Amino acid sequence: MKAFNDLADFSNEEILALIELAGRLDKHPEPEALKGKVLSLLFLSPSLRTLASFQAAMTRLGGGSFVISPEMSIHGLESRPGIVMDGAAAEHIREAVPVIASYGDAIGIRAFAERKSIEADMAETEFSSLIDLIDTPYINMESAMNHPCQNLADWKTMDDLSIPTNGGKFVLSWAYHPRALPLAVPASTLYMAAKRGMDVTVLRPDGFELPEAIMQKAKLAANASGGSVTETDDRDAAMQGADIIYAKSWSSTRYYGDKNGDQKLREEHLAWCVDEPWFANAKKDCRFMHCLPVRRGVVVADNILDGPRSIVIPEARNRMLAQMAILYQMLGGDS
């Protein structure tokens, strides 16, 4: 495997093989599988789970990793092309990225969306410019529109609980958050659930529709897998018979890049905090998923997060297992 960038680059059979491998490595550890291998980790955006789970994954497989981020004691990092570097930054990404990549056998890169232009973010302009600087295998640890490691872990989490594929209902719900967050998780989660063959409903207020190209990509995946994709702002209809509610906040697409416009619109929807009444029409054992971090009492009520519906902790642990499978395939574990 030369790249793990987008679930769309893999067949369902290949995804299921990765999930099976993740389960096997959990039950039957292989602490020497990647002995002597090194993973470079470049975080241009913050993290807890991705940072910790990649390091844990490499250690469990017998390899090593190192982390570089702008918050560390490194020279100031410049990313603008063609800039005259007479300011604070002493190092350009054009040298830093290939140098970091050259120390490892593979590199993981995280660079969130700039959230200035929807066109630039949809085109993955920043992530592509970083990947163009390297020739080692790479893993997308979250870019403008993709979070494939999260998607693989989420798919595994549903498989672990025998959540139905065909006929299973997945509600991807917008939730209130005080800040305008990226589209990477909602866009790629929608795709994941559609590709898994589920009946997916995007529940969101007006002004928070996902981009048409994202909806179309998911609909094509659903058609191929026997699922479906719809969207609505009607919570009762969306939650009817749901197996999963996956909550996430995201930027307004109507006011993308317009902080004030987005803020004004989102503040009309403070009540979009997932709580027990949301589940009135859902399946009795409908589960709550979230990629984390999550704001308690803002995105979701404590009683949901702390109660039996929540599967956010096994979901987060599956990040490590899913990434062990990716690294094993990418860096040449035995089988």
Token representation of residue 43: 């975080």
* Residues at the site binding ligand CP, with contacts judged by CB under 6 A: 47-50, 142, 150, 291-293
Identity of the residue, 47 or 143, whose beta carbon is nearer to ligand CP in the bound complex: 47
Identity of the residue, 282 or 324, whose beta carbon is nearer to ligand CP in the bound complex: 324
Give the nearest distance from C-beta 172 to ligand CP in angstroms.
Answer: 15
Identity of the residue, 36 or 46, whose beta carbon is nearer to ligand CP in the bound complex: 46
Give the nearest distance from C-beta 315 to ligand CP in angstroms.
Answer: 9
Give the nearest distance from C-beta 43 to ligand CP in angstroms.
Answer: 9
What is the signed CA dihedral for 177, 178, 184, 188, rounded to 10 degrees? 10
Give the nearest distance from C-beta 325 to ligand CP in angstroms.
Answer: 17
Task: Look up tokens 């599988």; give the residue.
Answer: 33
> Which residues are CB-neighbours of 222 under 8 A, at least 6 positions away?
194, 195, 197, 200, 228, 229
Give the nearest distance from C-beta 311 to ligand CP in angstroms.
Answer: 14
Order across the sheet with 38-43: list the strands: 3-4, 138-140, 106-110, 38-43, 64-68
Identity of the residue, 55 or 252, whose beta carbon is nearer to ligand CP in the bound complex: 55
Q: How far is 318 from 323, CA to CA, in rounded Å?
A: 8
Identity of the residue, 37 or 290, whose beta carbon is nearer to ligand CP in the bound complex: 290
Contact between 62 and 123 under an 8 Å Cβ cutoff? The reply is: no
Identity of the residue, 219 or 248, whose beta carbon is nearer to ligand CP in the bound complex: 248
Best CA proximity match to 215, nearest among 193, 235, 244, 243? 193
Best CA proximity match to 207, nearest among 247, 264, 246? 264
Give the nearest distance from C-beta 290 to ligand CP in angstroms.
Answer: 9
Q: How far is 53 from 290, CA to CA, in rounded Å?
A: 16
